[in-house]
Structure 1
Amino acid sequence: MLVNLNDLLPDAAVSDGAIACCNVFGLEEAQAIIAAAEARSLPVILAVNKDMVDLAGVEAMAGMLVPMAKAASVPVCVHLDHCYEEAIVYRAIHAGFSSVMFDGSQLPLDENIRRTRQVVDVAHAVGVSVEGELGSVPYQEGRDHIKSMSTDPAEATRYAQESGIDALAVSVGNVHRKTEADSPIEFELLKQIEVATTLPLVIHGTTGIAEADLLTLKQQRVAKFNVGTTFRVAFGNAIRACMTQEPDKYDRQYFAGKAMPALQAEAERVLALLSATKQPLLK
């Protein structure tokens, strides 16, 4: 069933668990991740990142993912990840995305608030949820222009109130696209942010965070964890191994199909790790 962030995150924020937001780059990954969510009876968020927007466009991605979400036996949110351009956000909303992220983290605070508020007003009018970011979560590789800047709790209060967002992505030591789980999380800063706003909080760069820290974070008001790198590694390694073992095969679909069980297994692991322990699973 197709849902948005407001159907998932408020409850997750007050539980001892969170919702996994999984980057998907094609049909097979979406199928494997939805299958993992159904196997675990857990909700999931399918995220489309900038790379896929640039490659395929939001219309094509919505055309593929929205019907899959509607057909799923568990709640599935189709979410536009980091997007810096309002025009693309509005196209995504029109195409059927149930949730969007307008990322104004590289902008001055006043401009971030103003532009995010405009997106929120449009999105909320048609039942679409909006995530924003304050501070700036850096990248290990791939986007050198993105700043590294921790979230300011005092600014978080104003941003949350004036922008009207439904979820707040924070920068507390987390880093995008890390393969080593060694990001130093600033737990004291996170506590200050929790005092500053009642919004559900979002952590990007989950693969780079140690499991013990994830277990602590999910018991805070962190309601959504964005996960991508660990899935790309699992899927890529499985495809590479299969291609090495069968050099006479050439069909992309064949190799992707062979690799999907490895991706589903990794997705099940991540979903189970992040899920609540004190609430029953979905029936």
Structure 2
Amino acid sequence: MTPQANPRDLIENARKGGYAVGAYNMHNEETTEALVWAAERSDSPVFLQVGRAIIPHMGVARAFEMTRRVAERSNARYVIHLDHGSWDEVMEAIRLGFTSVMYDGAHLPFEENIATTRKVVEIAHALGVPVEAELGKIPDAGQNVNWEDYYTNVEEARRFVAETGVDYLAISVGIVHGVIPDLPEKPINIQRIREIKAATGIPLVLHGASGLTDREVQEAKAAGVHKFNADTDLRHAFRKGLESVFAQGDRQLEEAMAEGRARMIDATMEKMRQYGCAGKAASALAA
């Protein structure tokens, strides 16, 4: 039975090695297997994320139990991480045995975000659990935005990290949740990443990493991003597997799910190679 890895070790090794660790959402048993098996096959550390889609579907506890069951049967170097958690969900996750949590207070007024995040950090750190937080606004795909209003403010980031003690900071630099089809590309603001990294000194996280070009990924890593959250690209791969089977006529659901899983494994392994964490599971184990 394989236990969870130390998330701080995974991120610190990524920082030292100049690569990033991927964090991906599972949605059912087959997608959980896809992420875990991809990590095994590519010898990659991985954050398995209980995210915003699965929590309404099955709840934090059932999602954790499913993920742990699949992961413990593997040889993967994994962390089970709560993504975009509310206060209650973060507290529940810590009680359940998550070893990494993200408290999302980005929707709150700045001072309130600092105050509540600081309380989360105090509780989590007392139990040895690192905390990720978010500063700035990350729009959903298709939303019309003035990007300057959405970027994470450098001075606010400096103060937020100093006053909360968070371990990792998710920032907004021109990314979206989801993939925008058929729209002109807007490059992410690499200079803003460099400025936030210099101001805070902690590892940074990019949510909404689906759809980024390889050049953007490599530049973001060099600028200080050591965790990428990606979901949409992998869900699309799974969906294409389902559709390819059902396009042949009536088929068993299990056959379609197996094809979706196979395609999601390939897509996840490609992310792991792109982020530079393929082949790095041993270093996470040795940390």
TM-score by length of 2: 0.89
Query: Is 1:20 aligned to 2:22, yes or no?
Result: yes
Q: 1:163 to 1:64 in 2, by over 3 A?
A: same
The ranges of structure 1 where at least 4 consecutive aligned residues each deviate by more than 6 angstroms after the TM superposition are none
- Once residues 190 and 227 of structure 1 are traced to their aligned partners in structure 2, the CA distance between those partners, rounded to angstroms, is 18
Give the drift of 1:179.
Answer: 4.7
What pairs with 1:146-165 in structure 2 (closer than 5 Å)? 149-165=150-166
Match of residue 73 from structure 1: 75
Q: 1:63 to 1:41 in 2, by over 3 A?
A: same
Give yes or no for contact 1:137–1:175 (8 Å, CA) kept in 2: yes
Match of residue 285 from structure 2: none
- Percent identity between matched residues is 32
Q: What is the identity, as a one-letter code, of the residue corresponding to 1:150?
A: Y
Q: 1:125 to 1:72 in 2, by over 3 A?
A: farther
Give yes or no for contact 1:82–1:102 (8 Å, CA) kept in 2: yes
- Once residues 149 and 210 of structure 2 are traced to their aligned partners in structure 1, the CA distance between those partners, rounded to angstroms, is 18
Q: 1:92-124 deviations in whole A, cap 9, x for unaligned?
A: 221222211111111122111110111112222
Give the drift of 1:39.
Answer: 0.8
Give the drift of 1:187.
Answer: 1.3
Gaps of 5+ in 1: none
Match of residue 282 from structure 1: 281
Q: What is the identity, as a one-letter code, of the residue corresponding to 1:132?
A: A
Query: Is 1:214 aligned to 2:217, yes or no?
Result: yes
Q: 1:281 to 1:6 in 2, by over 3 A?
A: closer
Q: Say how many residue pairs are matched.
A: 275
Q: Which residue of the other structure, out of 62, 65, 68, is the alignment partner of 2:64?
A: 62
Give the drift of 1:23.
Answer: 1.2
Give the drift of 1:11.
Answer: 2.1
RMSD over aligned CA atoms reads 2.1
SS in 2 for 1:79: strand
- Once residues 70 and 207 of structure 1 are traced to their aligned partners in structure 2, the CA distance between those partners, rounded to angstroms, is 27
Q: 1:36 to 1:148 in 2, by over 3 A?
A: farther
Give yes or no for contact 1:182–1:209 (8 Å, CA) kept in 2: no
Q: 1:195-223 deviations in whole A, cap 9, x for unaligned?
A: 10111100011113112111211222111
Give yes or no for contact 1:15–1:219 (8 Å, CA) kept in 2: no
- Once residues 232 and 97 of structure 2 are traced to their aligned partners in structure 1, the CA distance between those partners, rounded to angstroms, is 26
Q: What is the identity, as a one-letter code, of the residue corresponding to 1:94?
A: R
Q: What is the identity, as a one-letter code, of the residue corresponding to 2:31?
A: E
- Once residues 7 and 110 of structure 2 are traced to their aligned partners in structure 1, the CA distance between those partners, rounded to angstroms, is 24
Gaps of 5+ in 2: 283-287
- Once residues 74 and 148 of structure 1 are traced to their aligned partners in structure 2, the CA distance between those partners, rounded to angstroms, is 40
Query: Is 1:201 aligned to 2:204, yes or no?
Result: yes
Give yes or no for contact 2:102–2:133 (8 Å, CA) kept in 1: yes
Give the drift of 1:151.
Answer: 0.7
SS in 2 for 1:173: coil
TM-score by length of 1: 0.91
SS in 1 for 2:210: helix
Match of residue 35 from structure 1: 37
SS in 2 for 1:81: strand
What pairs with 1:111-190 in structure 2 (closer than 5 Å)? 111-140=112-141, 149-180=150-181, 182-190=185-193
Query: Is 1:191 aligned to 2:190, yes or no?
Result: no
Give the drift of 1:47.
Answer: 0.9
Q: What is the identity, as a one-letter code, of the residue corresponding to 1:123?
A: A
Give the drift of 1:141.
Answer: 5.0
Query: Is 1:233 aligned to 2:232, yes or no?
Result: no
Give yes or no for contact 1:175–1:208 (8 Å, CA) kept in 2: no
